[in-house]
Each structure stands twice: as structure tokens, then as C-alpha cells.
Amino acid sequence: MPPVRQRARNPSPEPLPSTPGLFQRTTRSGVPFAEILTEVDAGVLLQQRIAEQDARSSQPDPEVEVLAGQRLPEDDDESDDELLLVPPISPSVLEYAPFPLPALANGQPAPQPALQSGKAKKKAKKKAKKQAKREAAQQKLQQCLDTAVPYRVPKAVGARRVEEAKRRAIQVETDAARLRHSKPAWIGDRVAAGPNAALVKALNAVDWDAEDADERVRELGMQHIRWPGIDSVPVLNVRRRIIALLAGRPRGNGWATKIAAATGAVESLAPNVALPPEKLAHRRAADKFPALARGVSHGGGQLAPGELLITGANKKVTDELLANDGFKAIAGFTAYIYATWMPLLFAFFHATNLALAQWAPHLRLPFAGSVFAACTWNFVSAVCAPHIDFGNLAWGWCAITALGCFDPKCGGHLVLWDLGLVIDFPPGSTILIPSALLMHSNTPIRNGERRSSFVQYSAGGLFRWVDQGFQTQDEFLANASEAELVAARERAANRWAEGMKHFSVVSE
């Protein structure tokens, strides 16, 4: 792979781009890839963060291997739904991670005392067993780094579609940098106010079959986007940064079969979900519906990152869903889209996951090849009230895939209140948004219709945990040197501005 071109960073505060800089890439046959990426190269941005660390950080190689920057020979195959086995992102991306990373254990067993009592022998045996388990997990991690993982890299046909998508871009007047977030900028604003209740009621009452439906929406200060759910459409803020992506779906004939498998699994397993009544009327639900989550998270009082607790019947339900080929295909497609459109953010998620895997190899992400740490299934009657997912990384994206049997022109729209958009959201299609920043909801579906959704995301607490050296904030403050405290305060002061620079820029 040729070296990534270095480009000057914008001053802060960031001015409106006039001639945004872009990665210029070509296939081996000389065909250019899409010019969709950012003004800031991955190497420049992440090296800047390395420089803010202590003297222990080593000087990284000037080449960073970002998935969206890899090259393949030109391929005219129009099918997008298969997964190709390609080399994984280079472990050298760890050198660009904006945090110090732990070294893998040397694998040497703990020394045994010369004389041991029966109790000591039992304790030593238990310790050796744990050590062997850790070593096995670390070897498995290394195998994952050395072997192929199921990613799709952008092909020439994908690049052409990205160019087409740029021409369909939706421009909004929102400035992403002004959206609500917590002061440390790890998560969203816990107390963010939602839209006016009367406005929500008026939008939910729109008769979508009426000829004047779009006019009614405009009277409410919103814009109705009639999206078929197939082709990608980026949503750009005032600085032409991508603030949301209507990702669409693969065009291959096999995609409908995979979506049918995912939908069938959710609907057939929904009666087996065992939740008390109060768990059905959660803050995201416009009406009652069950939701189950799997994966790794941190926050809400947890002392350290861990796998989301789920037991009994609910574990059996989610085990089947995780093994379902339909959801594996959705996770693979989402990884491809994320890496293609948001390579800097994708690389940041990937580096964080690798760091967590080194710290705790036993933690299992939901899907191989995905950079999202957790996922949630919303079952059968999933219509959400206006909310933000404030626990997610503030400037991270989540992926929402609609499933079910409903007319997307008459209900189930995705409403992005901060952007003033009401978007048709057909089943089988995916939309990516920064869900910790953007207030979002759904319009009601009609009687007799069924709507489920599958959401992938990463908690902001995971990134904070790694940034603080795999410890709580109190532990970090108690153990850090003065230099580390100074560096941490500087990172905190710049975190929001730096996070915004992970959002890709689309040229005019």
C-alpha cells in the first residue's frame, strides 16, 4: 500500500471548508476510488494524539492501514451481498491508537514454591489453570490478527456507487459541532430535552396517504425524505461533514433471503422473550415492546467493562439470533459501509477493540468482523419515542436496520429531530447516525403491521476506560503522574473538536 498523503490540519475553531482535501486512491488498473474521505489523514490525526501521550509512546510508522484505503484489482461484479476474506486491518493500527496500550503477557508460568502444603498446591493449581486460560485467549487473539476476517473492502463498483451517492447528498443547516454532549465528550447529554410534545403528536397524526402529506410535514418545520432504501445517501451538515448516512442495502439477489431469515428469527423468537411488564415500557418505547441486548459495555455503575448480563430464556433467544446467517450478513454489510464512509472513526473503534481484547481476551463482541461492541434487538412492535442513546460514544455512530412487514411510506419513518428530517425507512435497509447526539424516533405503523429493528453500537465508557489506562477515573487520578494528568487534561479539552474531525467530508 502506498504511503498515506499527509495533509495539513484545520485550525480550531474549524472554518467552513472551501476546497476540502481528499484521499486520492486508484485500483491497480488505474481507476480512481471515490473522493469521499476527510480533510485529515488517519496518520496525521492519530499521530497527533500519540504526541499528546507520555514519552513512552513510540514513533509510529507513517503508513496506517485503514480498511477503506486497501486496494483490490478492479472488479465489475455488481453483487454486493457476499463477504470476501481479506487480510485484516494491520495490527500496526495500534501504534496510532490515542492511548497507551498494554503489552501481551510473556506467557511464562508463575514460579512455584519449593515446598507447598495441600492448600497451597490447590491454590497454585488453580492459578496455573487461570494462567493457561489467559494464554490460550491471547493466542486466539494473535491468530485473529494474523489471519483473515470477514470484511468487504471497497471494490471499483462500490467506488462508483459512492460517487453516485455524493450527487444525492442531503444538505441540512445543522452544525454537528454544536450538538448536545456531556462535558467530557465521551457520551451524550443525559438531560437533553426532546421535541415539543405537541409537535410529536402532530407529526404522528399525519395521514401519509393524503396528497398533502408532504405539505403537512413542511408546516411542522420538517422535510419528508422519500427514500427507497436501496442506494446510499449521505446527509451533510453546514461544514459538509457527513452527519448521517442512509446506507441502503446490497443489490445482490441473496440479500432478500438473508433479511427474510433475520426477520423470521426475530418474529418466531419474540414469544420466548421473558421480561417483566415494567421492562417493556422503557424510555425508548412509544408503546410497549421487548428489547434484548448482547455484547460488551461499560457504564451505568459498572466497575469495569464486561459482557451484558443475560440469562435463561433470553440468553437462548439471543444465542439463536447471534448464530443466524441473516444477522451475520447485516453485521458484515454494516462493517463494509462504516469503513467505506467513515474510515477514521472505523479505525478508532477497531483500535479500541484490539486494546480491550489485549486487556481482557475473554470479552466477546457479538459478531466477528464488526467493530461495534454491542447490539440490541427490538421485537415486533418496535416504534420508538423521541430519545438519544446518551450512553454511546458521543461522536460515534450506531447502525439501525429495520425489519418486519410494514409499509414504509405510511409509517415507521425515522425522524431525526435535530436535522428536521422525516425519512422513509423500508425493512431490510440500514441507516447510520450518531445516536448519542441526534434526537430520533419513529412514526407509528398501521394496525396489523409488524416492525422490528436491529441496532449496533459501542458505549462511550469503553473508550474512556482505555483512555484512562484500563482503570476507573478515580484510580487514574490517584495513580497518574503529573505529566499524565497534564496530558489527560489536554486530551479532554480537545476531545470534542478532535472527535468531530472523525466525521468524513464530502467535496462539492
147 within domain boundaries: no
Average pLDDT over residues 118-126: 77
pLDDT at 109: 40
pLDDT at 3: 47
pLDDT at 116: 57
119 within domain boundaries: no
The strand pair at 374-378 and 291-297 is best described as: antiparallel
Q: Check residues 71 and 295 and name the one with the higher pLDDT.
A: 295
Mean residue pLDDT across the chain: 76
Residue 245, classed as helix, strand or coil, is: strand
pLDDT at 418: 94
123 within domain boundaries: no
Q: CA separation (Å) from 232 to 1, 171, 249, 443?
A: 27, 14, 8, 22
117 within domain boundaries: no
125 within domain boundaries: no
Q: What is the dihedral of CA 58, 144, 162, 259, to 10 degrees?
A: -150
Residues of the domain holding 36: 1-101+154-508
CATH number, position 344? 3.60.130.30
How many Cα atoms are found within 13 Å in the side-chain-facing hemisphere of 117? Answer: 2
Q: What are the grid coordinates assigned to 145, written together?
A: 490478527
The answer to whether the beta carbons of residues 403 and 452 sit under 8 Å apart is: yes
Please give the Cα distance from 321 to 82 (Å, whole number): 20
Please give the Cα distance from 448 to 15 (Å, whole number): 50
132 within domain boundaries: no
User: Which residues are CB-contacts of 439 (< 8 A; sequence separation ≥ 6)?
Assistant: 192, 194, 195, 386, 387, 388, 416, 417, 418
Q: CA separation (Å) from 252 to 193, 256, 273, 275, 314?
A: 42, 8, 32, 37, 33
Number of domains into which the chain is organized: 1
Instruction: Give 288's pLDDT tier (boundaries 50, 70, 90).
Output: confident
DSSP state of 187: S
pTM for this model (two decimals): 0.73
3-state helix, strand, coil in the chain (%, to 5): 35, 15, 50
Q: Which residues pair with 377 in a beta bridge?
A: 292, 454
- The torsion angles phi and psi of 466, rounded to 5 degrees, stand at -70, -40
Query: What is the rounded end-to-end Cα distance, in angstroms, of the chain?
Result: 28
108 within domain boundaries: no
Average pLDDT over residues 377-387: 91
- Of the given ranges (145-149, 255-259, 488-492), which has the lowest mean pLDDT? 145-149
Q: What is the pLDDT of residues 396-429, one digit of tens each?
A: 999 999 999 999 999 999 999 999 999 999 999 9
> Which one-letter amino acid corresponds to residue 395?
W
- Of the given ranges (173-182, 245-254, 370-379), which has the lowest mean pLDDT? 173-182
Instruction: Give 302's pLDDT tier (boundaries 50, 70, 90).
Output: confident
pLDDT at 5: 42
Please give the Cα distance from 239 to 250 (Å, whole number): 29
Q: Is residue 42's pLDDT more than 50?
A: no
pLDDT at 164: 84
Q: Is residue 161's pLDDT more than 80?
A: no
